[in-house]
Amino acid sequence: MTRAFSHGPEVLDAWGGLIISIRERMDRRRYELVSVAAAKRLGSSYCMLAHGAYLASKFYDEESVVRIVSDRAAADLDETDLAVMDLAEKVAGDALSVTQEDVDRLKRLGLTDAEVFDVAAAAAARGFLTKVLDGLGFQPDSTFAELNPELREALVVGRPIAEATSTLEALKLKVETTSETNDDQPAGNVFDQDPPRGQRVDDGSTVRLKVSAGATAVPVPDVIGSQIADARRLLTGQGFLVREEPIPDEEIPVGEVVDQEPGPNEEAPRGSEVVLQVSSGPEERPVPDVVGRTLTEASNLLGQNGFVAKQASEASTTVAEGTVIRTDPPANTLQPRGAVVTVVVSSGPPTADVPAVEGLLEANAVDAIQDAGFVAVVERTVACTQPQDGRVLDQTPDGNTRAEVGTQVRVVVCDAPVDGGGGGGGG
């Protein structure tokens, strides 16, 4: 295996660290059962031999391992072991086929969420190594030739025909092959043999291998127009793999299947992939820039681009009344067709109520005017009486009227003359 990763030793180190971290969380016997189940589903000779040998050396006799590998339902395994191996096989072969019932079955048998995770993680990690070794064409190590022939022969099933033939010929056995469709093994993998596994034979005997020609071709269900969840459930229930490709569509609702390949009722092998094009809804497009336009112009432009305009007003001292200040979402933001775009239009400068200050002392009047956002302009008059001195006699604009913020408010303040005070003469 080190030779297989000679061009990427750091990858092997990382994978090894992952495997160790998973294995240390698990009961070792369970880990080996998971590895054997995953390897068999993946058709991995390398992993089948490695973990089958380990089981035979640490936990079972060789005859028991042969039964576990050949027909685990007939082996000396309890229900928990069988459920664990069933889940591992599903994860390795088609993780999308795992159902909530598979998980609940393990929980009913006493496994925790963490232990279920460990089973799934161990099976998934096994798939990485298997695919790397198979992809580079590596064969099982020669050390496995020392295994008991019965055990080694049992581990042949599910192996690619070239590997199976090499192993049997190394044992001085002749090989004959026939090809048949098989829904459980990939094309080119051995799925049966005669003599059966475990039977002793003489040197030179002939072993007849049945090799998978691939799964039986069956009509692909018509799922166009179905929601993706329903389409996936139907297709996986009939043994197909499903791959989704999102595609924008102006009319078809989000999540509905627009097209499929292979097409409806075309024949395809079970286990093959069906590609579903699924509507992602209307394609997003940028919001046009309408800043500086009139409301009518902005609404027309937005409508032409598939958006719905909604008006909002906002006072502005810098943008002329009736002119667009901004949009929400902003210009060039990607939005789907039919999205509402709020158009914020200037209502002109802000206004406020002019405070009524007649009768107030000058200082109080000026404060009230400034606090309301206006500019106080004070004029004085002597045409008043002493009791009015220092008080506002008149204002423009009048109090309690609306005016633009910043407008000058003129106030007339009494500046009454002081009495001359004549004294009286007597005499």
Q: Which pLDDT belongs to residue 121?
A: 92
The answer on pLDDT for 305 being more than 80 is yes
Q: Predicted confidence band at 422 (pLDDT cuts at 50, 70, 90)?
A: very low
Most distant CA pair in the chain: distance in Å? 169
d(CA 300, CA 282): 20
Q: Tokens in use for 354?
A: 């002019």
Q: What b/e sequence results for 25-46 when a residue is b if at least 16 CB atoms lie within 10 Å of its CB, and e otherwise?
A: ebeeebbbbbbbbbbbbbbbbb
Q: How confident is the model over 353-379, as a mean pLDDT?
A: 96
343 and 399 Cβ atoms separated by less than 8 Å: no
**Mean pLDDT confidence for 389-397:** 96
User: Which stretches of 155-294 are DSSP H helices?
Assistant: 161-170, 228-237
Residue-wise pLDDT tens digits, 95-134: 888 888 889 989 999 999 999 999 999 999 887 877 776 6
pLDDT 10s digits, 55-85: 888 888 878 888 888 777 778 888 899 999 9
Share of the chain above pLDDT 70, in %: 85
Burial 161-177 (b: 16+ CB within 10 A, else e): bebbbebbeeeebebee
Sequence-separated (6 or more) residues with CB below 8 Å from residue 27: none
pLDDT at 194: 82
Lowest mean pLDDT among 28-32, 70-74, 273-277, 414-418: 70-74
Q: What is the mean pLDDT of residues 247-271?
A: 91
The dihedrals phi and psi of 393, each to the nearest 5 degrees, come to -95, -30
Helix (H) or strand (E) holding 406: none
Domains located in the chain, CATH noted: 1-147 (1.20.1290.10), 156-214 (3.30.10.20), 218-279 (3.30.10.20), 285-346 (3.30.10.20), 351-414 (3.30.10.20)
11-52: per-residue pLDDT in tens?
777 877 888 888 889 999 999 999 888 888 887 777 777 788
- Chain segment 189-220, per-residue pLDDT in tens: 777 888 875 577 778 888 888 887 777 888 99
Higher-pLDDT residue of 338 and 289 is 289
pTM, to two decimals: 0.40
Mean pLDDT of 308-331: 94
- Local structure of 392: helix, strand or coil: strand
Summarised one tens digit per residue, pLDDT across range 150-189 is 555 555 545 565 666 666 666 677 888 888 877 667 777 7
Could you tell me the two tokens for 161?
Answer: 């025909």
At residue 195, the pLDDT reads 81
pLDDT at residue 140, as a whole number: 52
Q: Are 68 and 89 in contact (CB under 8 A)?
A: no
CA distances from 73 to 142, 193, 335 (A): 31, 19, 56
